A and B are shown apart, each in its own frame.
Chain A
């Protein structure tokens, strides 16, 4: 396997223009003769499918939900960045590019990030034209806010539902193409394998989740917009159905998987309340603007917060980072919360939580001001926890919510399998080791509306594809494999449910490959994961049959893939002997306890190649060079 990033040569400002000019075009009259499969209907997949259809291609779009409008992009709250500089506060494409490369802790590809910043401005225009009801000023112009520690106001938003509104824009564009007959939509259909013929991706095998029917679909190119793998941790802020199956099965067919250990942990989530808990709920990061974070000084102090006097409280972020205080970046805030809980000073019944206290802000500003700023969040918190945050401090704890890693792609967003593209969170491309707030939506839409419509055409124009249909033996082989796997799950007839394994796996990954990692812990985890995986294949209990709606059978396949991914994550984390972004190796920290990168040895993208069942994955390195933004150490003291 050879990694060729295909980044054109030249000054960074003109790379995308140059690349577009160099691309081969497909004659408009010929486009309808080509079929493109898009898997996933979120911001990347939905936008990509709609736009490819607008160009005239014949598109088949697949999602496992009952409607494309339910893709998990819908849950994004905060906003979407764009270098519009509408606020006249010094923003520019270059500044957004610079912030994103630096925020990614210098582990992303400069050319991709620059293109993302360039396209960001077109995204806002496109979404406005579609009727996305962005927040407005009284004069009628678009409103902005600052977000995620940026020093300029470049975030566009639609209340706390920006992801929902952007997704509905893409969904409506998609439905318009469905009505026009250019997109065939396959809801409740899960991709279970990619079919590679003569070295090129030529289709997929799917399962109809209602009838259980296994089907093949042939195409000239396949694009995966299948999201991230945060659910490997079981408890995460991802939707329950989010999974890595499409990406993972592509990996097993020859697509390299990049930087799997780069996962992001969000510091302000509502803590776990019991062992029945099914998922975690995010509370907006903006709460840290007015809330003060503390834990008791004494370990095991179980008094209610109101009875702990001021001098027995430890405002640990203010103590350790006097200049940034409670506003340190996500990775630092998360790690410190874990550290105090590990010392036995965590709060709440489980001891896994820290206080986020608004008492001072209420005293200083009055309850009405706090209600104006955070009323809806306080209400949501109270609804879940039954505690009134105006009277009792909130309890928060970090949770997984995004995967920076994903399928390796070149500048054209093509994986190492020709004809297989990966877009949005499913690829690894733009966020390096840490994603900044309000940039996931930007990347999804950039990939979908403005990048793959060009690059897929360029591929098709040059590929000289033979006619292939689903009678090809490779489709039969893939179908047989899928059927065997399904049969195997149903025949184990063991004692444990899928969820009980998933929960145990998630805890292992969280404990050893979560907020902080050590070589010995990772090695231990790999052993444990293998042990548990062996048990999975012997003691799993999947009730029901293959030819009906069977939600535990669906989960069984996804969790089987999570087991394998979890091992690769640990392997990748073990290889990376440095701390950067969301990846914190305890052995590599500065004397003050901060993350210590090693740019000499680890300034690369780790792309893993599958070598068959039982074989060790092979690491390929794509070196990263920084011509424009020079690596520096982050400090928040």
Chain B
């Protein structure tokens, strides 16, 4: 099949970028979007041109490395799917598509489709953990956790930290990401001792990084490849308000 790709090319943060048009005449409907870029890159390099830089690793939708906008939609048109799992059969023969990096002040661009997402690590470092040094744990079965609670914690813990929620949000908020971790640990008994401090510190770090506030638009939930629910933002707000009160 044939595809016309318009790709954001930018050598580095200091050089202005632009959309560049590429024609793919040897695409195959069974290829993933990333394999399509592989083929394009092989072709570019054979002709002495710089390949398109894009992030990827596991190519099974779990590592969270990949992600860019396709026609303005984070991870492209297929719901609950990362770009590495998106095959070209979901596009029409001859279709023109536009690929752009995540755009957010807190995710500075590095090159082409690659952005810096270290802000997410810093949000986790602010409190996204239970403080249990190795060796200090008691027997796992002394802690009973109802199945539905464990299941809901798992739903939130499934976040892969790809950044699509930020890219989709008109406010560039990372509330879905932050709320997912606060929900995962806040639902479990292990997370209770630090629950308030966690909510306060993670939300504070979220704001320090330059992510915007959540205004309940819901674009994040719509693009999340792991289907994290907006509910986690509600829980984040609940814990944050409760913590603010108890810390007065």
Contacts and interface: CB of A to CB of B under 8 A. Distances in A.
Interface of A: 47, 50-51, 54, 65-70, 72, 74-75, 84, 86, 122, 124-131, 133-142, 158-159, 161, 164-165, 168, 171-173, 175-176, 178-179, 185, 187, 210, 239-241, 273-274, 276-279, 281-282, 383-386, 449-450, 453, 495, 497, 499-500, 541, 543-544, 548-549, 551-552
A227 to B, nearest CB: 12
Given A65-B65, A75-B60, A84 B157 contact: no
Contact of B58 (A72, A133, A158): A72
Most chain A beta carbons < 10 A, residue from B31, B110, B130: B130
Nearest to B26: A276
Interface in B28-86: 28-32, 34-35, 38-39, 42, 44-46, 48-51, 53, 55-60, 62-65, 81, 85
A129 B32 CA distance: 39
Contacts of A86: 141
A569 to B, nearest CB: 24
Interface string B179-207: 00000110010110000000000000000
Given A172-B129, A175-B124, A75 B63 contact: yes
7 contacts: A129-B140, A133-B150, A133-B184, A138-B146, A168-B157, A239-B59, A278-B35
Contact of A67 (B81, B110, B118): B118
A384 B85 contact: yes
Looking at chain B's contact residues, the main secondary structure is loop
B58 A74 contact: yes
Interface stretch (B131-139, B208-216, B234-242): B131-139
A68 B121 contact: yes
Most-contacted residue by chain B among A69, A129, A281 (CB, 10 A): A129
A131 B144 contact: no
Contacts of A131: 129-130, 153, 184-185, 188, 190-191
A386 B62 contact: no
Contacts of A172: 124, 128-130
A133 B64 contact: no
A125 B63 contact: no
A384 B31 CA distance: 9
A241 B140 contact: no
A138 B128 contact: no
Interface in B96-129: 110-111, 114, 116-118, 120-121, 124-126, 128-129
B147 A128 contact: no
A176 B131 contact: yes
A274 B65 contact: no
A274 B51 contact: no
Interface of B: 11-12, 28-32, 34-35, 38-39, 42, 44-46, 48-51, 53, 55-60, 62-65, 81, 85, 87, 89, 110-111, 114, 116-118, 120-121, 124-126, 128-141, 143-147, 150-151, 153-154, 157-158, 160-161, 184-185, 188, 190-191
A74 B138 contact: no
Q: Which of B42, B48, B56, B65 has the most CB of A within 10 A?
A: B65
Nearest to A140: B144
A383 B87 contact: yes
Contact of B161 (A69, A139, A178, A210): A69
A50 B133 CA distance: 9
A71 to B, nearest CB: 8
Contacts of A384: 85, 87
Contact of A386 (B60, B87, B129, B137): B87
A175 B128 contact: yes
6 tightest A-B CB contacts, nearest first: A140-B144, A172-B129, A129-B137, A128-B140, A125-B137, A175-B125
Contact of A278 (B34, B117, B138, B146): B34
